[in-house]
Structures are given as structure tokens and as C-alpha cells.
Amino acid sequence: MSGGVLRVLPLGGLGEIGKNMTVVEYRGRIVVVDTGLRFPTTDMLGIDLVLPDFGYLRDRAADIEGIVVTHGHEDHLGALPWVMRELDRSPPVYGGRLTMAMARSKLDEHKLRDVPLDDMRPGEELELGPFRLELVHMTHSIPDSCAVALTTELGTVLVTGDYKFDQTPVDGLPADVSRLAELGRQGVLLLCGDSTNADRSGFSPSERDVGPRLQEVFARAPGRIIVTSFASNIHRVQQVIDAAARLGRKVSLVGRSMRKNVNIGRSLGHIEFPEGALIPPQEVEDWPDEKIVVISTGSQGEPLSALRRMAHNDHRMIKLHRGDTVVFSATPIPGNERAVNETVDRLFHIGCEVITSRDAPIHASGHGYAEELKLMLNLVKPRYVMPVHGDHKRIRLHGQLADAVGIDPEDVFRGENGLPLEIDAGGARYGEPEQSGMIFVDGVDIGDPADVALRDRRMLSGDGIFIVVATVSEQSGASVVPPEVIFRGVPFVEQADSLVEEIRHEVERSLARAANDGVREIDMLQQELHDDLAAFVYDRLRRRPMVLPVVVEV
């Protein structure tokens, strides 16, 4: 080991599934591994996406040598446009060919066309300041998935990305076990390993096993088949296409991200359609039900996804009906279970047959199980281990797996977002915490991580809003016309008329008290009205709607 301190700072992906982002820093220079996002939970009302708080990078933009993306899934790539918009310079972005094609598509949507994107082949090496970058081919549920090896004078940091040791992958390209073992022989200083399935024993099933099971399910379906999967799971999409072709069914793609990713996959040779097999969604109704397979987005119950809209009879082209079979070829990401269950229930209400991975082996995880995590640990033999990509339970279990294969528990660091691990010739320890957390995307704009707006939205969704317009005399401050009361979403229909009249009287009493006290400033009047009305409404309804007073002087 040589001099210097190597800092590894996770800004996302620890204590959660999603928004993966890791900053590796040495001699004042930075390489960022992944720029992921996650989707909002049900209590994040009106929020479209959740990004890691990358304020640390905004302040250090000049020090960034490059950004490396392990693969094309949203939780590793999706925040890239927002990161690039916020930095005052565009560092180069590196990744596999498909990953960079997906990155280009995302950046184009945001009209960011000057970001340098560089395809890297596994095994290729690149000097980035004090770092030597190498990608190692891994297997996952999307092609071109790679682990990232960053070598410095101090040693090598290996960030696995998402991986499994699938010996029979659909594309015939298993993980580069020999290179991982060679890195282990050369010496890996720190392993940042995927923890997603640390709680599942044994080995994960092969992706290749899913295709025959899908065909079996398709063969039993009497009518149309709607398959929902991750739009980026290109191997799965190909297996659905193959199963449909063997049974003489046409295939239609529904959902913008599904069409976009399939087009990218076709252009790079990862997806092939038999001649004449693909039909546009508007032609689905022209074919007999038993001749149709629809591949749709919405496997996670996303509110605006194609399947969710179908389930609510709100899709422009696909109308579900009794006799359709809906196949969920995915499992819910932790936190999405409620949204998925709601979608499934709506489908049953329509009369659809619904098949999930609990009913048939129609999904294989792209993340390795416990034995595969132990295999990775034994292959690379790291000096230190920092489990990543998992909630606190899975990170703890991954640490226990490291202990089981002989790694000293004191060399396993179960960290959290914003807590840097600092390594030098004397050992490894945690440094001072850095700013981390969440940034919310509402539409296309990003907002402050503060939850004031979310608090207001929760209040509105639960108890509604009162708007009170009071007109007062500029000289005396007394009410000159009856106050106007407007309410929305407040659950008190039975006593509405009498309560509105009581609120008017309360407004006039509050204004009279303020006038007697000599209060004339508009903002002070509005504050007093707010406090008096909030207490009055709670006393009557035992609810706390938002109270918005407006005072006009005449």
C-alpha cells in the first residue's frame, strides 16, 4: 500500500432498494459509480421520482474524473439527466454498449446532447486521474451488466453492481469468473457487494429456465395474454417473444419505456422478432384473442403505467375483459407490494386470470442468492467488505455471509448513506458524515429534500382544505361584508350549511378581536385568522384540514 486516503462515500443504495450512487475519491479526484433513482412510496403524494441528494457532487463538480454506470436499470442509471443538469460541467460517462445507448436515450429526452458518453468493453482499461478503471462482465436481468474495478496506488475497489452467477444465461455469456478470481489473486482492497437477495438461501434459478415455464402458461391460456415485466429486462422480453412465436401468437408492445427499450435492444442485436410477429397496439382488436400476446409496462403497479391504466379501464387502445390472462413476470420491489396488489385486485374484478411468480416459476431474479454472494466473497478475497444495494436487514445478512466465509467481522462495514469509509495504509474507518438524503422530482423539476410540500399534500389528501376570504375596512380593521367560505375534500357533508355559517361568525369574531387589539397588518390578520379557525374546525370536526385565510382591505 502507498500513501493517501481512499474514501468511498455512498450517497444512495444503503438502507434501501434503489437510487444507487457511490462516490470513490482518491487524491482529491472523484469517480462516481451509478446515478440511480427510486420510485416514490404511497405517502409521497404528487412526487414522480426520488433521487439521491447529490449536493456533494455539485460542490465538487470540477474534481469528477468520470461517471461509470454498471447497467441500464433505473435504480442505477435513471438519475443521470438530473445530475448532468445540476453540475456546472459534464464529466464523461462510461459503461457497456447497451447501457450507454439507454443513457443517450434518457439524456436526449432532457435535451442534454453534449454529455460525452463512452462505450467500454469488459477487460478494457482506462486511466482516470489516479484511478485505473476496468469493467468486468457480469450476468443480470439486462445485457451489458458489469462490475466496476477502480484501482489506485492503495489498492482496488470492486463495486459489483447487480449480479448473479447464472451458468446458462439467455445470451450465453456467463459472468467472467476467471477475471474476478484474478482480481482476487492480485488483491482487492474493498468489495462493495450487491445485497438484494442476501436473505434467500441457495442459488438463484437461471433466467433460461423461465422461457419454457412461460410457454407452458401461454399454452393453457384460452384468450389474450398480457405479460408485464420490467421494460429493461430485455432477456425476459425475448423469451416472451419466443414463447409467443412457438404458439403462433402475434406480439404487441404497450408502454412508452417498453417500446423504447425494445427498439434499443433490437438495434444492438439483443432482441429479435420473427418476421411479421410484431403488430402495433391499435391492431390488437383486429386479431382473435387466442392469437395475441401483449407485453406491457406496469409490473410494479406504477400509477401511470400501461397495465395500471388497463386495470382501471383507462387505456386508449387495450380494453381488458373476461377471458384475458395477465402474467406478472416480475416480483414487487420492496415497498411496491401494495400498488401491485391493488392492480391485481382490479384485474380480478374485470374477470381476468392473473398469474404471478407465486403461481408458476415465471420469474427469475437478476440478483444472486446467499450462496452466490459467498462465491463472490471467496473469488475476490477482499481485505474489507461494505455491503451495498439493500435495506438494513439485507446489509446485515450480507455481513454475516462475509463472516461465514472467514472475513473478520471488524473488516465488514455496514454503512449508511452519507457515511464515508476511509482507508489508508493504517486500516479502514468511518469518516465524518456528509450530506445525503433524498431529492424529489415533481414533473420535470427537482425540489429541496425538505418535506414541507409533502406534509401539505398529505394534509390535503386526508382532511381537505378551507379557504376563507375576509374583506375588512382599511381604517377600522372590522369585517365589512360577510366572509366567503370555500371548502374542498372536507368530510362533513351532513352539517355543511350550518358549519359554514358558524365559520363565518367565527371569522367575524376573530377579526373583531384583532381590531380591538389594534392589529392592522394583513399578514398578522391572516395568521390570527388561521390559528382561530384551525382551533375552531378541529373542535367541531376532530380533523385538521388545511386552513387558508385571505384578507382583502377596502
pLDDT in tens, 434-464: 999 888 886 545 655 445 455 555 555 556 7
Query: Which residue shows C-alpha cell 373542535?
Result: 539
DSSP string across 308-352 = HHHHTT--SS----TT-EEEE-S-PPTT-HHHHHHHHHHHHHHT-
Domains of the chain in start order, with CATH, are 6-202+365-447 (3.60.15.10), 207-355 (3.40.50.10710), 452-553 (3.10.20.580)
Share of the chain above pLDDT 70, in %: 92
Q: Give the span between the Cα atoms of 185 and 464, in whole angstroms.
A: 63
1 pLDDT tier (thresholds 50, 70, 90): very low
Q: Residues 318-332: what's their mean pLDDT?
A: 94
More confident residue, 471 or 198: 198
The reported pTM is 0.80
Share of the chain above pLDDT 90, in %: 69
367 among known catalytic residues = yes
pLDDT of residue 528: 81
Longest dimension (CA), the chain: 86
Q: Residues 240-253: what's their mean pLDDT?
A: 96
- Give per-residue pLDDT as tens, 487-536: 776 665 555 667 778 888 888 888 888 877 777 778 788 888 888 888 88
- Give per-residue pLDDT as tens, 136-185: 999 999 999 999 999 999 999 999 999 999 999 999 999 999 999 999 99
More confident residue, 533 or 51: 51
pLDDT of residue 461: 57
Q: Is the pLDDT assigned to residue 18 strictly greater than 70?
A: yes
pLDDT of residue 89: 87
Q: Give the span between the Cα atoms of 226 and 356, in whole angstroms.
A: 12
Q: Give the span between the Cα atoms of 103 and 134, in whole angstroms.
A: 19
pLDDT of residue 450: 47
pLDDT of residue 338: 86
Which pairing describes strands 6-12 and 21-26: parallel, antiparallel, or unpaired?
antiparallel
Q: Give the span between the Cα atoms of 12 and 17, in whole angstroms.
A: 9
Q: Is the pLDDT assigned to residue 379 strictly greater than 90?
A: yes
Contact 65, 31 (CB under 8 A): yes
235 among known catalytic residues = no
3-state secondary structure of 291: helix
Q: Residues 275-288: what's their mean pLDDT?
A: 94
List 34, 194, 324, 463, catalytic entry: 194
Mean pLDDT for all residues in the chain:
90
Q: Give the span between the Cα atoms of 148 and 150, in whole angstroms.
A: 6
- Give per-residue pLDDT as tens, 88-147: 889 999 999 999 999 999 999 889 989 999 999 999 999 999 999 999 999 999 999 999
List 235, 367, 389, 398, catalytic entry: 367
